[in-house]
A = this chain, B = another copy of it.
Amino acid sequence: MSRLSLAALLGVAAGLMALGTTRAQEKSPSQPKGGDHAHHFMDCAKACDDCARICEACGAHCTKLVAEGKREHLETARTCQDCATVCAAASAVTARMGPYSDAICQACADVCKRCGDACEKHAADPMMKRCTDECRRCEKACRDMLAHARQAAR
Please state the number of chain copies in the assembly: 4
Q: Mostly helix, strand, loop or mixed at chain A's interface? A: helix
* Contact surface of A with B, Cβ cutoff 8 Å: 3-4, 7, 11, 18, 21, 25-26, 29-33, 42, 45-46, 49-50, 52-54, 56-61, 63-64, 66-67, 69, 71, 74-75, 77-79, 81-86, 88-89, 91-93, 95-101, 103-104, 106-107, 110-111, 114-115, 125-127, 129-130
Cβ–Cβ contact A57 & B95, under 8 A:
yes
- List B contacts of A52 (CB < 8 A): 49, 91-92, 95
Cβ–Cβ contact B33 & A61, under 8 A:
yes
Docked Cα-Cα span, A42 to B18, in Å, equals 33
